[in-house]
Amino acid sequence: MNENLFPNPLKKGDKIAIISPAGAVDLTQLEKGINMIKSKGFEPIIGEHLYTKFSNGYNYAGTEQERIKDINWALNDKEISAIWASRGGYGCQHLIQHLNLKGFVKHPKWYIGYSDNTVIQSYLLKKGFASIHGQTVKTSSFGVTEKSYDLIFDILKGKTPIYNLKSNVFNKKGNIEGQLIGGNLALIYALLGTKYSFTFKDKILFIEDIGENFYALDRMIMSLDLSGVFNKIKGLIVGGMTNMGDQKENKSYEESFDPFVYKLISERISKYKFPVVFGFPNGHIKDNRPLIIGGNVKMEVQDTIKIEF
């Protein structure tokens, strides 16, 4: 485990900042999550612009300046012990050039989120800090399991997860160990070629996504291939691929793992020798179990699968 990347465990009474770095939310969408944080013995601290709305081709949670102000407050306030994103959506790319870690490096804290928050997590890892790729405070329209949240609180308190998974027909066997990177595929793709992109060499890459046409998904995988990502990584974990393809409107969110998407990805990476796990329960799915971006992970892919931090 990369101890130097991990913030100190939280204690009862510690303060967790809730901010909206991307899409807009309202109180009704966060009420359940905020009450849960209180019930676990922590104090939720509301960002100034948590419920602000600004429409500019998309419903953002405030202007860029307002969202930058909130995230830099949360990152640098020494009384804050963790930062939990209200939701994803789109907008984190607006913030990345303006992040200030002056206070954060003295008092590192967990950043929790997924989807668009992959951008922030890539930035933090480039600076040497791990984060939690897990469920946001907003409880999604397709629901969230209690276990998904409980495992996040376990990590906050210093306990790292171990996952035992069912085998998948598309898996590729092998045992490896390395640092976990990644998150939402669309954002990994969007950062390629920028200084904010993940460093892929000798890493284990995790990907998940939602609502993409099959050709768009293929384009992103092809871009990773053409940019040399698959030549550099030592393992791949594929999570939820939800509501995909040309018939998205007819698909249920319960279809967490689109088999055609798995087949497409499997074919694209067939020439590479690294082990692959398909069907990991993380992403835009109900059973969204947290992963530690920047954590050291042991990955055993045989007839049974074990992933341990």
* CA atoms 87, 92, 98, 102: torsion sign: positive
Residue for token pair 């595929």: 185
Active-site annotation holder among 122, 208, 212, 256: 208
Tokens of 94: 């607006």
Residues 20, 81, 86, 115: which is the catalytic one? Answer: 115
Task: Tell me if residue 208 is catalytic.
Answer: yes
User: Is 255 marked active-site?
Assistant: no
Sign of the torsion angle spanned by Cα atoms 27, 29, 31, 35: negative
Distance CA 49, CA 79 (A): 19
Total count of residues recorded for the chain: 309
Q: Is residue 133 annotated as part of the catalytic site, yes or no?
A: no
Catalytic residue numbers, as ranges? 115, 208, 284
